């Protein structure tokens, strides 16, 4: 596509370039997806009101978020498996955010690790934390985010139970994708994605694999969340996480 002018253009491009299971993961909601559609509809209702006869010179969207200067008050939200939408996706997104002057939030469920992202950025990014049953692993994640000089910890509160996501189940979502006939065909018709993936070693959940006890290989986000997410998450956890982190804490969800 020679000209990308709108989010819809980007979405069309992604549909063509990204294997179906990952495109669907980003473009779907739980169960009947009614909340997903309602969110989009709500945003469509918001209109800009034009103001006239005001001096338009030197207008700027620059602002501050948690005390950090930003070129506009928008942060990149954490999205799991960004590194499956495009090889090294989280590293590239963090670099783009840095160049544009907005915060980037790395998901716990990212493909590129905290250390991978830190190795290609110069400004601090934010790290999103899911609270899991394995507390040693959570403490270690917090320490790794500190060591990487992340400037905020973003604690997600609303995914202790994963909604049933029909497209993900039907597509057999996993990272890396299982080599079934359907998946092989789906990847083969997207040579650009395959070539980039072949050129990176980052193809699974690198914040977790090799760090969490007993997790040498982890493909499925759904099975990990079912087994590992701590259903007891409460304000008490916010207190110990805040203390261990010792920096800026954002509650999300
Ligand atoms: C594909 C996808 C993956 C996401 N992964 C995460 C995640 O790993 N951690 C998290 O806290 N939120 C995750 N979210 C939620 C987003 O961070 C965000 O809160 C949500 O998409 C609402 O923002 P939006 O209206 O800009 O999409 C994800 C959302 C999408 C669409």
**With a 6 A CB cut-off, is 252 part of the ligand 1 pocket?**
yes
35 CA → ligand 1 middle, Å: 13
The pLDDT tens digits of the residues spanning 198-240 come to 999 999 999 998 888 777 666 665 666 677 888 999 999 999 9
Q: Which ligand 1 atom is at minimum distance from the Cα of 25?
A: 1
Question: Is 2 part of any domain?
Answer: no
Nearest-CA residue for ligand 1 atom 23 is 77
Tell me the CA distances in angstroms from 253 to 90, 154, 157, 229, one per residue in order.
21, 10, 5, 15
Question: Is 52 part of any domain?
Answer: no
Most informative mutation of 11, 80, 117 for ligand 1 (most atoms within 8 A of CB): 80
Q: What is the largest CA-CA distance in the chain?
A: 65
Nearest-CA residue for ligand 1 atom 13 is 79
Question: Is 50 part of any domain?
Answer: no
Task: Calculate the dihedral angle through the C-alpha atoms of 30, 33, 35, 41, rounding to the nearest 10 degrees.
Answer: 150
Question: Is 176 part of any domain?
Answer: yes
DSSP characters for 172-201?
Answer: T--SSPP--HHHHHHHHT-HHHHHHHHT-S
How far does the chain reach from its first CA to its final CA, in angstroms? Answer: 35
Question: Is 26 part of any domain?
Answer: yes
The pLDDT tens digits of the residues spanning 108-125 come to 999 999 999 999 999 999
**CA dist., res. 185 & res. 156, Å (int):** 36
Nearest 5°: the CA angle 80, 86, 88 is 80
Q: Note down the domain range covering 71.
A: 7-30+61-252
The pLDDT tens digits of the residues spanning 147-157 come to 999 999 999 99
CATH of the domain at 65: 3.20.20.70
Question: Is 39 part of any domain?
Answer: no
Quote the number of domains for the chain. Answer: 1
């Amino acid at each position: 596509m020679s000209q990308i002018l709108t989010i819809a253009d980007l979405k069309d491009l992604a549909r063509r370039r990204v294997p179906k299971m990952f495109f669907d993961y980003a473009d779907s909601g739980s169960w009947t997806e009614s909340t997903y559609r309602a969110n989009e509809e709500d945003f469509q209702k918001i209109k800009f009101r034009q103001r006239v006869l005001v001096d338009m010179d030197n207008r700027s969207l620059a602002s501050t978020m948690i005390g950090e200067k930003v070129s506009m008050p928008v942060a990149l939200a954490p999205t799991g498996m960004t590194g499956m939408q495009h090889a090294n996706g989280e590293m590239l997104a963090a670099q783009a955010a840095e160049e544009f002057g907005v915060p980037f939030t790395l998901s716990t469920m990212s493909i590129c690790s905290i250390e991978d992202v830190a190795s290609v950025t110069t400004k601090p990014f934010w790290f999103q934390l899911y609270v899991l049953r394995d507390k040693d692993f959570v403490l270690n994640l917090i320490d790794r985010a500190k060591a990487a000089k992340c400037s905020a910890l973003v604690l997600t509160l609303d995914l202790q139970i994963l909604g049933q996501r029909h497209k993900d189940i039907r597509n057999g979502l996993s990272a890396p994708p299982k080599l079934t006939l359907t998946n092989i065909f789906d990847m083969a018709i997207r040579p650009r994605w395959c070539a980039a993936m072949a050129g990176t070693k980052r193809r699974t959940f690198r914040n977790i694999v090799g760090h969490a006890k007993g997790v040498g290989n982890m493909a499925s986000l759904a099975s990990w969340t079912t087994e590992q997410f701590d259903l007891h998450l409460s304000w008490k956890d916010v207190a110990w996480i805040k203390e261990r982190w010792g920096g800026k804490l954002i509650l999300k969800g």
